Amino acid sequence: MDIFVQQLINGLVLGSIYALVALGYTMVYGILELINFAHGEVTMVGAMSALAVIGALLGAYPQAPALLVLPAGVLAAIMVCMALGYVIERVAYRPLRRAPRLAPLITAIGVSIVLQNAAMLIWGRSYISFPAILPHGSHPILGAVITDLQIVIVTLSVLIMLGLTLLVERTRLGRAMRATAQSREVAELMGVNVNTVISATFIIGSALAAIAGVMVSAYYGLGHYYMGFMLGLKAFSAAVLGGIGNLAGAMLGGLLLGVIEALGAGYIGDLTGGFLGSNYQDVFAFMVLILVLVFRPSGLLGERVAQRA
The binding site for another protein (CB under 8 A) comprises 172, 175-176, 178-179, 182-183, 185-194, 309
Q: What angle do the packed helices 194-220 and 227-242 form, to 10 degrees?
A: 120
Nearest CB to another protein, comparing residues 178 and 220: 178
Nearest CB to another protein, comparing residues 28 and 82: 28
Q: Please, which residues bridge with residue 128 across strands? A: 223
Smallest distance from the beta carbon of 252 to another protein, in angstroms? 18
Smallest distance from the beta carbon of 307 to another protein, in angstroms? 8
Q: Which of 40, 27, 45 is nearest to 81 (CA)?
A: 45
In angstroms, what CA-CA distances link 5 with 38, 150, 280?
Answer: 34, 14, 20
Q: Residue-wise over 250-281: b if at least 16 C-beta within 10 A, else e?
A: bbbbbbbbbbbbbbbbbebeeeeeeeeeeeeb
Nearest CB to another protein, comparing residues 15 and 245: 245
Nearest CB to another protein, comparing residues 142 and 186: 186
State the Cα–Cα distance between residues 240 and 230, nearest whole angstrom. 15
Smallest distance from the beta carbon of 304 to another protein, in angstroms? 13
Smallest distance from the beta carbon of 298 to another protein, in angstroms? 15
Nearest CB to another protein, comparing residues 237 and 246: 246
Nearest CB to another protein, comparing residues 32 and 82: 32
3-state secondary structure 115-153: HHHHHHHHHCCCCEECCCCCCCCEEEECCEEEEHHHHHH
Smallest distance from the beta carbon of 235 to another protein, in angstroms? 24
Smallest distance from the beta carbon of 306 to another protein, in angstroms? 12
State the Cα–Cα distance between residues 19 and 209, nearest whole angstrom. 10
Nearest CB to another protein, comparing residues 147 and 195: 195
Nearest CB to another protein, comparing residues 148 and 303: 303
Smallest distance from the beta carbon of 171 to another protein, in angstroms? 11
Smallest distance from the beta carbon of 90 to another protein, in angstroms? 16
